[in-house]
């Protein structure tokens, strides 16, 4: 069995901008094992934290966007704007 440390692991993410302050190379990925496993990113400059989206939420959002696209195609509009002379 491989040794699993219970300490928090922090890894800098090279080439990543903070979603809030837009500072390059200031984002850290944090993995927590105890008391509950968790993973998130944190900006070392502004303190912004963000968790990974739930896969079910992503799937629901993609489905809703696909449905909006299909509805637009069925009504004959594709989202373009036509100016009348």
Q: What is the pTM of this model?
A: 0.56
Q: Domain total for the chain?
A: 1
Domain encompassing residue 23: 9-74
Residue 73 has pLDDT above 80, yes or no: no
Mean pLDDT of 61-79: 74
Give Cβ neighbours of residue 51 (< 8 Å, ≥ 6 apart). Answer: 38, 39, 40
Residue 81 counted as domain residue = no
Q: What value does the mean pLDDT of the chain take?
A: 82
Residue 55: CATH number of its domain: 2.20.25
Residue 67 has pLDDT above 60, yes or no: yes
Q: Considering the chain, what percentage of its residues have pLDDT values greater than 90?
A: 33
- Read off the pLDDT of residues 16-34 as tens digits, 9 standing for 90 and up: 999 899 999 999 999 888 8
């Amino acid at each position: 069995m491989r040794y699993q440390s219970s300490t928090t692991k922090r890894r800098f993410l090279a080439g990543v901008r903070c979603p809030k302050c837009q500072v390059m190379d200031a984002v850290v990925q944090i993995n927590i094992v105890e008391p509950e496993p968790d993973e998130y990113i944190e900006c070392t400059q502004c303190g912004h934290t963000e968790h990974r989206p739930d896969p079910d939420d992503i799937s629901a959002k993609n489905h809703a966007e696909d449905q909006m696209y299909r509805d637009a195609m069925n009504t004959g509009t594709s989202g373009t704007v036509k100016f009348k002379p």
